[in-house]
Structures are given as structure tokens and as C-alpha cells.
Structure 1
Amino acid sequence: MSVSGGRVSVGHPAHHRTRSRLNPQAYLATTGRILRQLAADHRSLAMILVVPSAVIALMYFMFADLPHRPGTPAPFDNACLIMLGVFPLIMMFLITSITMQRERVSGTLERILTTPLRRFDLLAAYGTAFSVAAAAQATLACVISFWLLGLHTEGSPALVFLIAIVNAVLGVGLGLLCSAFARTEFQAVQFMPVVIAPQLLLCGIVVPRDALPDWLQWISNAMPASYALEALRMVGAHPDLTSTAARDIAVVVAFAVVAMGLAAATLRRRTP
């Protein structure tokens, strides 16, 4: 701040927030506020909790009477495993990117960033809140799939639950990252065909990865959804955690961490 006769440095907290440590009170307050907003938004809550489970139930009735060879997984088991990996990624990407853009446009994000809460701490609060929502989504979807619809996997259901949560956290990270480049909520939604659709096409759902041309296999190997789906298939086919599944889970976690870090680095106060 400039005054008559010279310049005086004012130690405003906002000037030093980049060097402060995590403020537990501000972090918990921000996390609680986001969770309360999600709980009050009934449409978002329905998208997170009800829609995935309803679609999985619909798939159960679609595949219930389809014949399959003895000794091979039932068609519903294959389809349900794919949905348990795909839904958390898609739904949390949409909810996170739209909510973050809404915070920016409304000015809430700008007001928060005038406090001592650092950008990375703010992203940690958003990541925590949406990860809690993701855990609730994965829990409900897995309970309905395994205990009500009879989903069978050779591996532990706990591993399927873990991979579903990791995929949801990845969706949160990608949603936070993409929201930094959108100016409206509609633009945030438009990132889905750019970020999510190629992963779904190349992860092995439509065409097996080893049947793709070499150059598409290279692109597929650089996409986290490929490793998430491979991990789920390993759990579905093997009773124990294989080294391939462990590696795939670690790769998806690494992608989620990198996405969170990039989101913190590109966070802007509001859309110009």
C-alpha cells in the first residue's frame, strides 16, 4: 500500500496464503458447505445416487433371460462391471464441472479466494466433498448390484467398490480441471465428449484394445479409463488381486492426483 512519504508493506493474510499451511477450519468449513449444497440440490443428488442404480437395475432385466455358455460369465455380470466403472467417472465429471462453474459465475469462488484458504486447499475441499458423494454413489450401486441383483465376480466385491470410488475421484479431478477452461455451465458440459467419450470408445468396451490399430492402442494406453476397465475385468475373472489389477488401480490413482494438481494450478477466481 502506498502512502505519503514512502511505501508501507501491509501483511494482509491474502498476500501470504500461498505460503501458509492447510487451514483445517477453513478446509472443513468449505467441505461442509459443499456437502450441504449437494444435499439441498435434489436433482444433483438424484443424478449421483439414483440414476446409476436405476440404470443398472434396468440392465439386469434386459440381460436376465439372455442365454450364455456354461462356465462363462453371465451377460449381466460383464455389463454391470462395465457400468460400475463407467458411471462414477461420467456422473462425477458432470456434477463436479457444473458445480465448480456455478461457484465461479456466482462469485462464491472469488469471495473464498480472498480468505487465507489456498487454491490447493480449496481444491482439496472440493475434492473431499465430491469424493464423499462418490463413495455414497459407489456404495449404493455396489450394494444393489451384488446383494439385490446377484452380480457375481471371482474377486472380492470390496475391490470392485474400491475401483468404483477411484474412478469417481478421477471424474472429480477431471471435472475440476475442465471447469477452469469453461465460461458457462453449458461449456463445462461440452467438455464431456472431448474428455470422456474418447476414453469410453478406446478403453475396450466397443472394440478390444488389442484389436485396435497400433496408433489407437498407444492413445488408449494414455487414457485412465482403459486401466480402470482392465482392473475391473481382472477382479471379475480372478479370485485374488493380480499384479495387473494392482498396477491398473495405481495408474488410475496417479491420473486422479495429477488431475487435481493441474486443477489447482489452473484455478481462476471467476470467468472473465
Structure 2
Amino acid sequence: MRALRLLLATTARVLTQIRHDHRSVAMILVIPSLLLAAVYFLYENETLPPGMPRTFDRVGLVMLAIFPFLIMFLITSVTMLRERTSGTLERLLTTPLNKASLLFGYALAFSVLAAVQALVTLAVAYWVFQLDVKGSPLLVAAVCVLNSVLGVALGLLCSAFARTEFQAVQFMPVVVVPQILLCGLFVARSSMNSVLEAISNVLPLSYSVEALQEIGRSTDPTQTLWQDLLTLGLIAVGLLLLASGTLRRRSG
């Protein structure tokens, strides 16, 4: 019970800290919607035959997974590194709270922010840009929230291997960009060569994109969708457990 109170206290402290960081709040709540707007206006003047779905409905749907994933990875890795370099983690680890509980406290705080971010971006996509997909918006929301949490888990893990904020940012072209290139957005995974397809099959973002594509093409949930959701959940938990095992008190 005491560990639970400390975990919730850690969650509340992180949320309060980020609430006072206006730049972080803007990145979490505003930037994904602005990026989605850029995608919308990119295809605004396209000419389509009658009955043909908009390109934005296909590309914008996938971007609902990519943008939150990218932003939450960046925010989480940098914030966690600040906690370590400031000595906050060292103080917290002197309490009865173990590493796993501590990290899950951070994960819970960032996951709350991730959920709010996903809901704001979805509201903009559906109400402002009239996103039209066959599947349920609730399923889209579930994938987006889960994908944001995945970005949180990956950010927490990568922050353990960085000593400065600049190094934390450098993980983006190593960890995030390859996933964007190989997730199936630009080329179908089945059309890739065997090496790239094998790499794509172990990247978390590939399952997020596949899940959203399943929602986009089918009115009812498919078996592939449920499998992708289960895979994403297991990957997120696994990353958090790995991150707890690499958690260090201070950077350096």
C-alpha cells in the first residue's frame, strides 16, 4: 500500500511538473494537431473521381499513430533525463519505492498525457478535417492511445542510455525514423525485400499502422486488429520492464 501511495505521488508530481512547462504542454497537445493540419492541406486540392476516398483519409489515419508516438518519445526521454541529471531519481530511489514501481509511476503520468494528446488530435481529425474511415472512432482512439503509451515506454528505455538532452534527441533517427520508413506507410510491408520485411516485423510502429489500416478498411474489428492491439500492449509492458532494469540514479 505504501508503494502504491509513492507511485501515485510520483505520477502526480510529474503531471504537476509538466503542467508548469508550457513548451512541453504545447508539444504534447498542439503540435500533433498542427502536423495533422499540414497533412490535410497537403492534399486539399487533389482531384478525385466520384466515390474515390480522399488520400487524407488514408494517410491522415496513419499519422494519428505516428505523430503522437514521435512527440511522446521525445518528451518522455528528455524529461526522464532531466530527472536523472537533477538528482531527483537519486532521492526517490532512497525511498521504499523500487525501480519498477518508480518507472511505472512515470509511465502512468506520461500515459495520462498521451491519452489526452490522442483525444485532442482525434477531435481535430474528425471534427475539423472530417476524417472518414469505415471503422469505429473508438477503435481508432484505442490504437492512438496505445501507440502514445508505446512512445512513452520507448522514450523511458532510451533515456537510460543518454547522458545529455542532445544525446536523447539523437536517438530519434536511430529508433524512430527507421520505424516510420518501414511501418508500411510508404511501401506495403509485403512488398519489401526479405531483409526489410523481417526488420519491419519486429518494429512496434508496424503493428500500430497495420491496426489503423484494418480499421480504415473494415467496419467490424478483425482478428488482425485484435492481434495487433495485443502485440502493442505486450511490447509496451516489455519495454517498461526493460527500462526498469536499466534505470540508473544519475547520468554519467
Shorter-chain-normalised TM-score: which range? over 0.9
Deviations along 1:209-234, one digit per CA (max 9) or x if unpaired, are 11111111111101111111010011
Q: Deviation of residue 73 (structure 1)?
A: 2.4
**Structure 1, unpaired ranges of 5+:** 1-20
- What stretches of structure 1 move > 3 A for 4+ residues in a row? 69-72
RMSD: 1.1
1:260 aligned to which of 224, 230, 240: 240
Residues of 2 paired with 1:22 and 1:69: CA distance? 63
Deviations along 1:127-165, one digit per CA (max 9) or x if unpaired, are 000000000100000011112210011000011110000
Residues of 1 paired with 2:158 and 2:139: CA distance? 28
**Structure 1 SS opposite 2:96:** coil
Percent identical residues: 52
Residues of 2 paired with 1:24 and 1:228: CA distance? 31
Q: Deviation of residue 196 (structure 1)?
A: 0.8
With the length of structure 2 as denominator, give the TM-score of the two structures: 0.97
User: 2:77·2:155 contact (CA, 8 Å) conserved in 1?
Assistant: yes
Structure 2 counterpart of 1:135:
115
Q: Deviation of residue 58 (structure 1)?
A: 2.5
User: 1:68·1:75 contact (CA, 8 Å) conserved in 2?
Assistant: no
With the length of structure 1 as denominator, give the TM-score of the two structures: 0.90
Q: Deviation of residue 82 (structure 1)?
A: 1.5
Residues of 2 paired with 1:84 and 1:22: CA distance? 38
Structure 1 counterpart of 2:198:
218
Structure 1 counterpart of 2:217:
237
Q: Which moved more, 1:198-207 or 1:239-248?
A: 198-207
Structure 2 counterpart of 1:49:
29
Q: Does 1:174 align with 2:171?
A: no
Letter of the 1:190 partner, please give it: Q
Structure 1 counterpart of 2:88:
108
Q: Does 1:194 align with 2:174?
A: yes
Structure 2 counterpart of 1:5:
none
Letter of the 1:244 partner, please give it: T
Letter of the 1:246 partner, please give it: W
**Structure 1 SS opposite 2:109:** helix
**Structure 2 SS opposite 1:146:** helix
